[in-house]
Structure 1
Amino acid sequence: MKTKLSLFRLSLLLLTFVYSSTATYIAAPQSIPQLPKPLAAETFHLTEDMEVGLEIEARSPHSAWIRRGAEASALLISVDGKYNQDLLLWAGDEFFNYRVMLGRFPGGKHTISVALNTARSAAGARRAEVISLRPVLLTTSRRATIVDEDQMALAHSPFLYARANTIDRFTDIPLLMYYEILRDAGGVLTVRYTVIFTNEDGGTQTAPLMARWGRATDIEWVYQIRAHGGKIVEETYQGVEHETKVFTGHRTGGRHPLLAVASDNNNFSDLACSAVRFAPLPIRARLEKATRESVMDMYPQTYRVMTEELIREKRISDTPTDANTIADPREYLYIEAVSEQEGAALAFDVKVSGQAKPFASDMGEPRLRIDRSGYFRTAVRLPKNVSSAEVETITARCSVSSKPAGERRCKHLKVVRALMLDKNYVPRPLTLPTQPESSLTAGETKVFKLAQP
């Protein structure tokens, strides 16, 4: 572990040196000496300086994220002849509407060009089809639905340099970015940006991810701003080893911070860069009464791509035998709940009709129980081909955790939702009865009976 950490720090130091030596060069959009032949182009006119996004409907023929050597083709996006970002067509052979942030542009005429980036495409996926480009003008005019706080959030969304050891390996790519907006009693506005990656090559292993988080994607907050009186008073980001650090890096396209994915568990640096960068157009998420994982439910493709990457990396098996292997994610029941843990941890047992024993989220291992408070999600593996109609009960189990505490309780417990993925990875909710909050002491259980259709 120490050797790996030392090697990582050395590589990060080298990246930092390169970045520091060329910071001004990479922060500004660079002209591309000879643009590849465009697959599509679109010209737009701005009456004033404005943030601009882009919707691209495209596909990568005969590719699939699951296919080694034919995972995806890559698009090179340029604006007015200058490099803006790359886009991996991770949805594969099907047409999909990808959304990216281009940045802030001055009033006047601008041209977006999208071309195949052969060098960044998989060897078996060096074709792409683009059927539409639609600039998205992110304005506060009457014609838009964006309010001032959303405008500020969009204007500061980060651009991400790909982790150097993921380039051309089609792993751990950012699928979605979302932001949350919170206000405190003192009037301070906080905007936090979070990225959903396909997976993480380092950090938490796959089986514990499913047990404690209810997914195998990696969800990481990347950047946060705090503003008061219309002025930004603090900018921070999630550094390596989950350290919150003050942002002192460079920007592009207006006020967009440049950050790099800098560790195998997808933490970040403002002093590193790579040859590829991404900028998903962020969506606003309201998670006061929901989990981060619930954002994935709105975009079922995230579950499919998550699964395909796991299969390609041999992390899915009909008979999982280690902590880095799971069953097909469509064979799990996903449970979202809320509770306040005091020196305690929760796990869930699921009773299936015709099965003598229940199936446990923690698989009998205390380390796989959930000891954090708030809204959380877990996943329980069920036998193959079990339907939602066969799920009879969900039992919450409150156990002693390793955290010191006077009383050991799971307070204000409520099961919010339960769902399963259908054959197309679309989340399908199960019907839960109306329920009051429960408070359990360590050793107690609470049974929730599901309503049958």
Structure 2
Amino acid sequence: MSSRARHAVLALTGAALASAPLALAPAHAGTAPGTISLHRGGPARSLTFTARRDGEAVIGFSVAAPGVSWAAKGAESAVVSIAVDGRHVTDLVVPSSTPTARSLGLGHVRHGRHRVTLRFARGSAPAARRVTLARPRVTLPAAAQLALRHAPVVVGRTNGPLNDPYQNATTDTPLIAWHETKPAAAPGHQIIEYSVVWSNEDGGTDSPALMARWGRTTDIEWIYRVEVDAQGRRVDGTGVYQAPEHLTLKFTGRYEGDHPVLQTCTQNNNMCDVVSAGAPLRFLPDATATRPAGRAREVVMDREPWTYQIMAQEMVREGKIEKPSDPATRAVGDQRTYLWAEFAKTTGAARGLGSVPGVALGVRLKADPSRLYRSDHDEPTWSIDRDGAVATTVELPEGTKLSDIASVEAIRRPIGLGDNGAPATVTAINRGFLLDSSYLPGPSGITWTGSVTLTQQQPTAVLWRP
């Protein structure tokens, strides 16, 4: 039987779609045609589905909130609360009036008929009046059951300077999630790690350093890791989470089935396993996605271009963008002026005492090839010392197009005092793009593969020319 046929068959009916006829999609899913509309102060709407077996369910739709903009104070988002059979499962923050494909976990459901209830929820911005959810669909994806089964529930942040239990509806909102697996020491066992992309971080690394060292102003954090046996059961005592100060602590909190319940409890989106009583927002992201092998974590954003738009809009609304943009300063300028690049590097053995070398990217433009625009802004600690595929950005003059770029080069730079002499080898530029006028990624126009070794004696090398 094909994997498509092994998916659960779900029949959806439209209590929310009153006069719409029932339409069944292929065998892996059922889809209710039409659009569900939720209004401020209006009734909840619902749909039902029939699960042909026990398993973890996912709901997906194209969602928009007219009048909402993550860039505008007082219009940041609309919040949709989602319940299954009367139990609050997850919330969805809708930060845009543009229809966007979103999906969320619904948790474990048993064989039989179930009701999903959606309502316009508290925490929505004053300007938000309506949410539309087009083409709702519920699936039990067979290939992702293990990852969905152990995915964490993330309760919204309620502490900090804002002192607002609904603050994740206006700042540092969770956007997307994914999981990664690797073999455990025990035969047949594996370790699953879950990560979340947040729209920003109100604490932690400052924005200019994020752009230079991580190639983004979103916050990307692993939040939970667990070992499972050959039958997919959690191995007792193996659950750990990323705690404040980026510590890895044993999870001792509450589970809902196999889902650990965590809470965002710091300004840089670290977790606690003790949850505040009465916290109103909770998120069960769809964690079915994985990261392509050999690529930086930021590539999960590339597959969801709307995340760049929300990232940039939060920076604008929170006044974190320099006006006018000036690549000669270290402040973050208009994010549409940056080259967003991902490259791969390795560091060799140290040959003496001193700090490890990092690598930065430099860009020269055809109009003035004598000037070098650097990703690290000539700040030693902003060069990248970690190995593998890494992301960075290079600020360029406003109006620059990819066709204006004359070359991209690699620059070896020790990150602290002294130089331990280790070589750094760059082997690829995986992508290089600009954001368009709407802050969405344009096509990648810069790629390169090869091998260039940077040393104390030869610290720079051209990687790419058009």
TM-score computed with the length of structure 2 as normaliser: 0.81
1:390 aligns with 2:404: yes
Q: Is the 8 A contact 1:41 1:133 kept in 2?
A: no
Q: Is the 8 A contact 2:64 2:133 kept in 1?
A: yes
Q: Is the 8 A contact 1:180 1:287 kept in 2?
A: no
2:172 equivalent in structure 1: 172
2-structure distance, mates of 1:37, 1:172 = 28
Q: Is the 8 A contact 2:380 2:416 kept in 1?
A: no
SS at match of 1:120: coil
Deviations 1:132-168 (A, max 9, x none): 4211223x3xxxxx1xxx3211111111001114644
1:219 equivalent in structure 2: 220
Q: Is the 8 A contact 1:430 1:450 kept in 2?
A: no
Deviations 1:270-314 (A, max 9, x none): 112322101111132234310000111111100000011111000
Q: Is the 8 A contact 1:344 1:403 kept in 2?
A: no
1:341 aligns with 2:347: yes
Q: CA deviation at 1:232?
A: 3.3
Q: Which one is further off, 123-132 or 179-188? A: 179-188
1:162 aligns with 2:156: yes
Compared CA separation, residues 332 and 85, structure 1 to 2 (3 A): same
1:46 aligns with 2:51: yes
2:139 equivalent in structure 1: 136
Deviations 1:361-391 (A, max 9, x none): 1111111111111211110000001110111
2:383 equivalent in structure 1: 369
1:331 aligns with 2:337: yes
1:232 equivalent in structure 2: 234
Select which of 274, 294, 297 maps to 1:271: 274
SS at match of 1:303: helix
1:77 aligns with 2:78: no
Select which of 436, 440, 444 maps to 2:454: 440
2-structure distance, mates of 1:306, 1:103 = 28
SS at match of 1:131: strand
1:302 equivalent in structure 2: 307
Q: Is the 8 A contact 2:155 2:281 kept in 1?
A: yes
> Aligned Cα RMSD in Å?
2.3
Q: Which one is further off, 376-385 or 332-341? A: 332-341
Identity of aligned pairs, percent?
30
Compared CA separation, residues 192 and 404, structure 1 to 2 (3 A): farther
Q: Which one is further off, 390-399 or 414-423? A: 414-423
Q: CA deviation at 1:319?
A: 3.5
Q: Is there any run of 5+ residues in structure 2 with no aligned partner, and where?
A: 1-40, 349-355
User: Counterpart of 2:405 in structure 1: which amino acid?
Assistant: V
User: Counterpart of 1:161 in structure 2: which amino acid?
Assistant: V
2-structure distance, mates of 1:40, 1:404 = 64
1-structure distance, mates of 2:358, 2:296 = 18
1:7 equivalent in structure 2: none
Q: Is there any run of 5+ residues in structure 1 with no aligned partner, and where?
A: 1-35, 141-145
1:430 equivalent in structure 2: 445
TM-score computed with the length of structure 1 as normaliser: 0.84
Q: Is the 8 A contact 1:205 1:323 kept in 2?
A: no
Q: Is the 8 A contact 2:197 2:219 kept in 1?
A: yes
1:241 equivalent in structure 2: 245
Deviations 1:379-405 (A, max 9, x none): 000000111011111110112233887
Q: CA deviation at 1:195?
A: 0.2
Alignment of 1:252-271 (within 5 A): 252=256, 254-271=257-274
Q: Is the 8 A contact 2:428 2:447 kept in 1?
A: no
2-structure distance, mates of 1:405, 1:327 = 31
User: Counterpart of 1:302 in structure 2: which amino acid?
Assistant: T
2:129 equivalent in structure 1: 126
